[in-house]
Structure 1
Amino acid sequence: MRTAPVASTGKRSGRWIEHWDPEDETFWKETGEKVARRNLAFSVLSEHIGFSVWTLWSVLVLFMGPEYGLTPADKFLLTSMVTLVGAVVRVPYTFAVAVFGGRNWTVISASLLLVPTVAAFLVMEPGTSFSTFLLVGLLAGVGGGNFASSMTNINAFFPLRRKGWALGLNAGGGNIGVPVIQLVALAVIGAGGGPRLLLGVYIPLILVAAALSWARMDNIASVRNDTGAAVDAAKDRHTWIMAVLYIGTFGSFIGYSFAFGMVLQTQFGRTPLEAAGVTFVGPLLGSLIRPVGGRLADRFGGARITLWNFAAMAAATVALVLAGRAGELTPFTCAFVVLFVLTGLGNGSTFKMIPGIFHRKALARGLSGEAADAYGRRLSGASMGLIGAVGALGGVGINLAFRQSFMTTGSGTGAFLAFLAVYAVCILVTWAVYLRRPAASAAPAAAGAAGGEAKPQLSYAEV
């Protein structure tokens, strides 16, 4: 996506801003900041509810007792397919903002959340076939796309010096939609209500979010899709390397958010109320700590924080395996919550790495100043959509791994061992690509001694 100040081209229908230049200090202070903050607030609201609807089935499966006729394997397959759709739709949602306008697409995407919510309300009763539940569950995946379009939209409203704060707040506010729906479910279960009551709570909230977006948000006329940047980003190996690392962080966060309650029910025999009473804690802490990961990356370097974070995730996974084999619920739950916190830290540190990597590549190409900044913004912005989509696929793998593990061994131990191997790969990749000293580090000295000019080694250790 790219934005530029443009002259007015005449009045359009709807709330269109024809001139937008947040980098202009005077414009920002007099007009831009107030408008940007207003759009951020309502964008967060819509994205927040989108996350809640996306993870809706992580809660609904807790209500679905033996009378529904579904096995644990059926439930894990259901949640994995919801995660898959949410990951895939992030790609078109990224480009929809430029096609329809940020305000218009927020209204459309918020309104679309009614489809899976109303459909679930209609079919949520014993006797409904698994194939029907699966089809309705797939519809909930649209909630996963709201993150991509919301981040793209808010990115256009804020100047470069404020983007980190704005995007962090937007992402964190959206992620908190996961624990919030789990808390609401806990209240509903505690009050003796059923899944239809939970769905009935969210239907009016979706209508309110769509109406407020229509009344209070704006479109920016100068936002355009930069298809060339998307192609360049897709060709760059760092886009796919960072996607692998994001599978390990955000993929773990969203995958565990779907699976935590089911694991407690299936492996430890927890009731829906007992499971719901603790499942919200991990996603809540993981969401709140995401900005801390970014701050630590600012200070110590994203690659370093990411490396040590994956090492800590591996250690927490080992603790989960040991506690699970011993049948110790309290240590198992505590280790799971710690793992959630680490996924949040990793989300912040990995996303912080992306603009730094492409800025370093710009410098290596001989660019400097604004030219280097523009190159970095163009490629990092385009790559974030792809990285976000691929990273969310990690949630699919987590739920499928749990499904297979419980089908074959009756516990989640096999799945956790697989996740441990993934974190080991992420540690190795982070070190080998971004922290390992180049093998040719001695070459500059040798070339200098021979009177030649050495080519500087490209380092990503500080990104």
Structure 2
Amino acid sequence: MDQVKGTPASGLFGATLGFFFGFAAVALFGPTAAKFKDILHLTPPMVGLLVAMPALSGSLLRIPFSAWVDTTGGRKPFLILMLIAIVGLLGLSVVIYMVMFNNLRSGAYGFLLLFGLLSGSGIAIFSVGISQVSYWYSQKKQGFALGAYAGVGNLAPGIFSFLLPVALHRLGLFNSYLIWLGFLIVGTILYYITGKNAPYFQLRQKGLEPVKALEQAKQSGQELFPSKSLIESLIVSAKNLNTWLLVILYFTTFGGFVALTAWFPTYWKSYFGLSLVYAGLLTATYSILTSIIRILGGAVADKIGGSTTAIISLTVMGIGALGLFLAKSIGIAVASEIILAVGMGVNNAAVFKLVPKLVSSAIGGAAGWVGGLGAFGGFVIPPIMGEFVAAYKSAGYAKGFIVFVVLAVVSIAIAYYIKLKAKA
């Protein structure tokens, strides 16, 4: 028993801290998109692709790294992803320096795409932490624990969306990126100090045989245990229909969250003509509210069930998306943004309340598929919305929200199916 370091609370704290700083690695892209657009003369689809690049790697890397937790615990995958993100943010800083102070233009866009892709590994941390926290907590408490982990961690884009315009104004683009690089390095060090694997993985690392490690971990309070290797975890979870239904639900609201965190600064600036500071403030409002409400959503899911929570929250999201689609005034648009944030945040919590319940034999693999392919929405959606702008000019910024209306309707039907079949 004394061989195990940490408690569920400390395990949750370390994972949340690491995720917060990891997600901060990509918080720069949305607010600085307008700067890149002006400096490099980018088209709307090019801007859409640029802000989506971190979401591409951040979604796909979740799949293998989350499944890896089932074999080694979360610390090693967590730290590797943070180191990759540091390389990406360092590369972005160098490119920005060359563009601004050495007048580099040729190939700059390609390098921004490449290093943006690497920095997206900070988003991939999410699924690793989900698996890590899931093994620390009993199923009765997982809704709140996972909601707190994701909610607090997801605050990073909102907080930095608010701070970045101020930093850009006072410090400039290059210095702002250097400061964010420093944040990420500090966060990596803090996670290295505070991040702890669940008891079973600590005991296995100390050399205990699986059976003995299992027995001692149970005495420490651990309830869930990995039953598969990395590849087996991915295969078993992939064969479970519930995994793919949850992927769609998460694509809609977390993929949508990542997409809109990057898209809203451009939307507010280009559609309503707001300054970068006010656009950042409204984006931060959306991002922070979505994150905070996720904590409450986890507690609600613990009480009324994940699928019921999903049905209600997705309906709220659909109303918010429809409001943004129809909005002609900034007042209606802001109100709709708030409604959208509430629906998305609560559903994000509901989905991961359902993962351990519906795919209990391969939590890491399922969390990888759901978190990875679900977050892929952050890559897919911005370029689609960019096409609406290309086709309808300024009006396209509002028309593009029809994408979220459609996703909400489809997801409600899926959540209702889960409720009927799984009684979850």
Bin of the TM-score, shorter chain as denominator length: 0.7 to 0.9
Q: Which residue of structure 1 aligns with residue 160 of structure 2?
A: 181
- Which residue of the partner structure matches residue 417 of structure 1? 402
Distance 1:75 1:147 in 2: 25
The alpha-carbon distance between structure 1 residues 82 and 381, as it changes in their structure 2 partners (threshold 3 A), is closer
Q: Distance in 1 between matches of 2:377 and 2:195?
A: 33
Gaps of 5+ in 2: 206-225
Corresponding residue for residue 190 of structure 2: 212
Note if contact 2:5-2:196 (Cα within 8 Å) is conserved in structure 1: no
Out of 117, 124, 127, the residue aligned to residue 138 of structure 1 is 117
Q: Once the 2 structures are TM-superposed, how far is the Cα of residue 336 of structure 1 from its aligned partner?
A: 1.5
CA contact (8 A) 2:65 2:368 kept: no
Deviations 1:79-123 (Å, cap 9, x if unpaired)?
122211111111122134456653344333322221111111111
Q: Show the counterpart of 1:245.
A: 249
Give the Cα separation in 2 of the matches to 1:240 and 1:272.
38
Please name the residue that 2:173 is paired with. 195
1:153 counterpart = 2:132: yes
Deviation at 1:268, TM superposition (A): 2.1
Supply the AA of the counterpart residue of 1:386: W
1:346 equivalent in structure 2: 347
- Say whether the 8 Å CA contact 2:298–2:350 is kept in structure 1: yes
CA contact (8 A) 1:243 1:387 kept: yes
**Residue ranges of structure 1 left out of the alignment (5+ in a row):** 1-26, 359-375, 437-458
1:241 Cα deviation from its structure 2 partner? 1.3
Q: Conserved in 2, the CA contact under 8 Å of 1:242 and 1:350?
A: yes
The amino acid across from 1:80 in the alignment is: A
Q: Map of 1:212-361 to 2, 5 A cutoff?
A: 212-218=190-196, 220-222=202-204, 226=229, 227-323=231-327, 326=328, 328-356=329-357, 358=358
| Helix, strand or coil at the partner of 1:64 | helix
Given that residues 319 and 339 in structure 2 are in contact (C-alpha distance below 8 angstroms), is that contact kept between their aligned partners in structure 1? no
Deviation at 1:422, TM superposition (A): 1.9
> Whose RCO is larger (CA < 8 A, sep 6+)?
2
Q: Percent identity at matched positions?
A: 23
The one-letter code matched in structure 1 to 2:122 is G
Q: Please name the residue that 2:211 is paired with.
A: none
| Deviation (angstroms), 1:216 | 4.2
The verdict on how the C-alpha distance between 1:36 and 1:298 changes in structure 2, with shifts beyond 3 A counting, is closer
Q: Give 1:49's match in structure 2, choosing from 3, 11, 21.
A: 21
- The aligned residue for residue 75 of structure 1 is 47
1:390 to 373, 394, 397: 373
Partner amino acid, structure 2, of 1:75: V
The size of the alignment, in residue pairs, is: 389
* Structure 2 contact 59–123 (Cα < 8 Å) conserved: yes
Taking the aligned partners of 2:131 and 2:118, their CA distance within structure 1 comes to 22
Residues 402 and 412 of structure 1 are in contact (CA less than 8 Å); yes or no, is this contact kept in structure 2? yes
Do 2:146 and 2:349's aligned partners in 1 also have CA atoms closer than 8 Å? no
Q: Could you say which structure has the larger radius of gyration?
A: 1
Q: Please give the alpha-carbon distance, in whole angstroms, between the structure 1 residues aligned to 2:121 and 2:7.
A: 27
Taking the TM superposition and a 5 Å limit, the aligned residue runs for 1:31-180 are 34-64=6-36, 66-97=38-69, 102-124=74-96, 125-126=99-100, 127-128=104-105, 129-180=108-159
Aligned partner of residue 269 in structure 1, secondary structure: coil
Q: TM-score, normalised by structure 1?
A: 0.77
Structure richer in helix, relative to its length: 2
Quick one: distance in 2 between partners of 1:71 and 1:116? 24
Q: CA deviation at 1:32?
A: 5.5
Contact 2:84–2:119 (8 Å) recurs in 1: no
In 1: Cα distance, 2:37 partner to 2:51 partner: 16
Q: CA deviation at 1:380?
A: 4.3
| CA RMSD, 1 decimal | 2.5
Query: Residues 269 and 276 of structure 2 are in contact (CA less than 8 Å); yes or no, is this contact kept in structure 1?
Result: yes
Alpha-carbon shift at residue 175 of structure 1 (Å): 1.0
Residue 382 (structure 2) pairs with residue 404 (structure 1): no
Q: Using the alignment, how far apart are the partners of 1:202 and 1:99 within structure 2?
A: 32
